[in-house]
Amino acid sequence: MSYVVTSEKEKKQMLEEIGISSIEELYKDIPKEVFLTEPLNLEEGKSEFEVLAEMRKIAQKNVIFDSTFRGAGSYRHLIPEVVKHLSSLSGFATSYTPYQAEISQGNLQSIFEYQSEICNLCDLEVSNSSIYDGASASCEALVMSLKRDKNKVLISKAIHPNYIDAIKAYAFARDIRIEEIDIEEGLTSLDNLKKKDLESVSSIIVQSPNFYGLIEDVESISTFSKDNKLECVEIVNPISLGMLKTPGEMGVELACGEAQPLGLDQGFGGPYLGFIAASNKYLRKIPGRIVGQTTDVNDKEAYVLTLQAREQHIRREKASSSICSNQALSALRCAIYMAAMGKQGIKEVAKRSFNNAHYAMEQITNIDGFSRKWKGEFFHEFVIDTKVDVDLINKALKENNIEGPYKLGKNEMLVCLTEALSKTEIDKFIDILRQVKK
């Protein structure tokens, strides 16, 4: 079927009104050479019942593991049902960008609340309404940080490799040179950083907790940046901010990252949500939509899209980014999640993930042949060196319907634990590791 509403009889009336006898006449401007005479080589249409059954079969080809110890940029956190329910309410789901503020206050207010929550979480002053995902948000933040006539950016090698890939793509586009900062004990090397030629450098980008789960000394890096008049961009896991020092506290004025941990389904990688939070000085440089508070003509408190002069539909080639459609519904959902977990809940999620990871680390490293690769403090992920082949470990885990750690190398794995794991699940995991070893 096709969701065409009009009946044949009505179509006739419409054609008459237009003054033609068939719809094809409307296509007269299309050159004959390209006008299709054969139907598309696709299957015939199906009823929704058949489609749903088919899609169900496809979905069943994916494995949903009972427990997972794999993170690496996409995390299984607990998502309250109320969050799913509220974010699918039809007004939110089926509206477009709130151009008509009078009939979009629900949407606008909820984005304003989202912006506020992100600012609060990061201790910063400005947030936009969303960017596609963490990687693209990092790229946009990089672009925000660029200084005139300085076309080099230093990036930590401990940033998520997929993000580095994206940064390299954006850098190629903008003719920016990327130089990587070495790592030392799994952390961005301050020594290496200090040795860099800063001549044409605009900014430094680090991630904390970094790809390996380690907490970076962002404070020193941001101080170094300030001292050398560089911009410092921190990519941060927002859940960690329930517990760890914030960008704002560390003097970072530009933070960004992936908000998936804040209540979004893992969904094979999307839709996720890139966030950017910054100090006031970036207000007119930040890309994407921003909602601001105002009043209507009757002085009723209300919300509108504001500062649109930054955006492509007004500035065109001079816009700060080309972003138009964004991740509004993801932002709404994260906002609902943040309110559902609330001030205390978000701390608990962070602390619980931290505790689980530390308990597991202790247990794993008690097993012969398993050791931590680096010793630094970490949040909820850590790297284990193992004498056993990681593939073997993961195979054994899979047989128990457990998704094993992220493989970094034949004998190196990135282990992740969130609050979604119970002690029983962790102990079972440890047990299997113990057995594989033998």
Q: Is 88 in the site for ligand PLP (CB under 6 A)?
A: no
How far, in Å, CA of 390 to CA of 385, rounded?
9
Closest approach, Cβ 329 to a copy of itself, in A, equals 16
Alpha helices in 317-374 (DSSP H): 328-366
Query: Considering CB distances under 5 to 8 angstroms, the limit depending on partner class, which of a copy of itself, other proteins, ligand PLP, none binds residue 153?
Result: none
Binding region for a copy of itself (CB under 8 A) out of 74-82, 253-261, 317-325, 405-413: 74-82
**Contacts of ligand PLP in 296-355 (CB under 6 A):** 324-325
Closer by beta carbon to ligand PLP, 327 or else 418: 327
**3-state SS class at 182:** coil
Looking at residue 405, what DSSP letter applies? P
How far, in Å, CA of 226 to CA of 34, rounded?
59
93 C-beta neighbours (distance < 10 Å), count: 10
Among residues 247, 245, 275, which one has the least CA distance to residue 259?
275
Please give the backbone phi and psi of residue 36, each rounded to the nearest 5 degrees, phi first: -75, 135
Burial 401-431 (b: 16+ CB within 10 A, else e): ebbbbbbbeebebbbbbbbbbeeebbebbbe
Among residues 141, 38, 380, which one has the least CA distance to residue 243?
380
**Contacts of other proteins in 104-133 (CB under 8 A):** 104-107, 109-113, 115-117, 119-121, 123, 125-127, 129-133
How far, in Å, CA of 161 to CA of 180, rounded?
12
**Contacts of a copy of itself in 80-109 (CB under 8 A):** 80-81, 89-90
Binding region for other proteins (CB under 8 A) out of 49-57, 177-185, 188-196, 364-372: 49-57
What residue type is 212 in one-letter code?
Y
Q: Is 162 in the site for other proteins (CB under 8 A)?
A: yes
Q: Is 197 in the site for a copy of itself (CB under 8 A)?
A: no
Given candidates 147, 194, 387, 423, which one binds other proteins under the rule CB under 8 A?
423
Closer by beta carbon to a copy of itself, 52 or else 392: 52
Q: Is 438 in the site for other proteins (CB under 8 A)?
A: no
**Contacts of a copy of itself in 292-331 (CB under 8 A):** none
How far, in Å, CA of 369 to CA of 384, rounded?
10
Given candidates 21, 66, 93, 194, which one binds other proteins under the rule CB under 8 A?
93
Q: Is 49 in the site for a copy of itself (CB under 8 A)?
A: yes
Q: Which residues bind to a copy of itself, rule: CB under 8 A?
A: 47-49, 52, 78, 80-81, 89-90, 420
Q: Which residues bind to ligand PLP, rule: CB under 6 A?
A: 324-325
